[in-house]
Amino acid sequence: MTRARIDYVWIATFAILVTFAVPWFLWGDSRVFAGLPLWLWWHIGWMGLATVVFYLFTRNAWDRGMAEGTR
């Protein structure tokens, strides 16, 4: 993939992470699993996913936009 295409993939990935960070589709849902509300499990899982994505970002694309000529 070209550098620009990879940049767009990272932008889309982070946009999806932000969009689904708040589980609006679980509002008003009273289901409980293992003693915790389902929406809280969503946050726990989502933060785990965000951690993995951020790790991959730091390993593969941390220097995006910081290359020579951007000062």
| Token pair 């009273």: residue | 30
| pLDDT, one tens digit for every residue, the chain (71 residues) | 787 888 899 999 999 999 999 888 888 888 999 999 999 999 999 999 999 999 999 888 777 666 655 54
Asked if residues 31 and 37 have their Cβ atoms less than 8 Å apart, the reply is: yes
Would you say 13 and 53 are in contact if contact means Cβ atoms under 8 Å apart?
Answer: yes
Radius of gyration of the chain (CA): 17
pTM score, whole prediction? 0.76
What pLDDT was estimated at residue 68? 56
Q: What is the pLDDT of residue 14?
A: 94
Helix (H) / strand (E) containing 37: strand 36-37
